[in-house]
Amino acid sequence: MLGYSIYQLLFKQSAGTSIVLPRLYLKASMETITLAIIVTWAFTPFYAPNQVWGHPAFITLGAFNFCFAWDFAPANYIALLMNSFIVYFLWRYTILVNMRLKLRENPSNHDRRAARWSNVHALSGSVFLLIFLAGPINQYAVPMPGEPDPLPAYPASNPAIPFGNWTWHTAAFFFFVLASYFAYVFTYMESKYGSARTRFSSLTNLYIYVLTIANAFMIIVYVIQGVASAYGPYGWNNPNAEACYDSVIPSVLIASSTYCSFLPGQVVIVANWFWFFTFTAAPRFIPPELPITESYEIGELGPGEAAGGIEMQ
């Protein structure tokens, strides 16, 4: 159930001694971004449709992007608030992973790599929040609810503002996507080949390949569209950009046959949905793990005494 891991971590914690599953925090982080996407898409296309279908990056991609529903106010306020929980979940996860690594008597290289990538993943969660600052706010006149839908200006960059272009916005997003992917892969490798191996179904093995294809497909498609628009007669550099903008179909399933991007918009739509369904399925395929026992109590400490402790079962 979507959001169940979040509910368990935020509202079902117990005092005293408790069993902790670190990967529950990993699941919660993935559920958080999925819920943020769903919430913003539930109202932005209806409350401020020109923020989605009139998005300045629409012509570059040839179709919609899931971020379009949260790039501008007021949706970005909600998305920033919701996604801020990712920072807590991922840093808490990497702290527990590194603690478990220290508790192991003979950790393997797979264990160490999984811990290192959990650190990178946590950092990417913090960097990910920069997408709400870099790009849309700095570079464009923000399309607000109720305003007419003019052809938006598309300057190459804003030299007066540091990081005032979409490159940094996209880089922050893809840093999170790639870090999430590699963190998941090395978590899988830890469970399969590490010092404390766990059993999981053959579907998890299959999922790794599907996740790899989905991430690679989306990134390649976006890089092609972005590079072609930046250095060729595509996107806003296309002589027919205004006609392409006027022919936009407000749909998340169908792209217009008139496009100014290098690849047809329908390819982008396929890449978007392939990645979205694969990413949202990740919590179901995270391998099981050894739990950690945490003990908390309040008391006065004497010399060399500890009021609580952590151990691995």
Q: What is the 3-state secondary structure (H, E, C) of 172-197?
A: HHHHHHHHHHHHHHHHHHHHHHCCCC
What's the pLDDT tens digit per position in 258-285?
999 999 999 999 999 999 999 989 888 9
**pLDDT of 31 higher than 80:** yes
**pLDDT of 41 higher than 90:** yes
Select the more confidently predicted residue: 301 or 133. 133
What average pLDDT does this structure show over 80-98?
95
Would you state the pLDDT for residue 136?
A: 56
* Residue 76 backbone class (left: φ over 0; alpha: ψ -120 to 50; beta: rest): alpha
| Burial (0-12, 13-18, 19+ Cβ within 10 Å), 38 | middle
Answer yes or no: is 312 within a domain.
Answer: no
**pLDDT of 147 higher than 90:** no
Number of structural domains the chain divides into: 1
Alpha helices in 129-240 (DSSP H): 136-139, 166-193, 202-231
Answer yes or no: is 237 within a domain.
Answer: yes
Answer yes or no: is 227 within a domain.
Answer: yes
**pLDDT of 245 higher than 90:** no
Answer yes or no: is 91 within a domain.
Answer: yes
**pLDDT of 146 higher than 60:** no
Residue 257 belongs to domain spanning: 20-142+157-285
Answer yes or no: is 197 within a domain.
Answer: yes
Q: How confident is the model at residue 29 (pLDDT cuts 50, 70, 90)?
A: very high
Answer yes or no: is 55 within a domain.
Answer: yes
Q: Which of 151-155, 175-179, 280-284 has the least mean pLDDT?
A: 151-155
Average model confidence (pLDDT) for the chain?
84
Would you state the pLDDT for residue 34?
A: 92
Q: What is the pTM of this model?
A: 0.84
Would you state the pLDDT for residue 134?
A: 76
What average pLDDT does this structure show over 73-94?
93
Q: Which of 9-13, 14-18, 111-115 has the least mean pLDDT?
A: 14-18
What average pLDDT does this structure show over 158-163?
44
Answer yes or no: is 241 within a domain.
Answer: yes
Q: Which of 32-41, 117-126, 304-313 has the least mean pLDDT?
A: 304-313
Select the more confidently predicted residue: 293 or 219. 219
Helices 75-103, 109-128: axis angle to 10 degrees equals 160
Q: Which amino acid is present at 33?
A: I
Would you state the pLDDT for residue 82?
A: 94
Would you state the pLDDT for residue 106?
A: 87
β-sheet bridge partners, residue 311:
293
Answer yes or no: is 32 within a domain.
Answer: yes
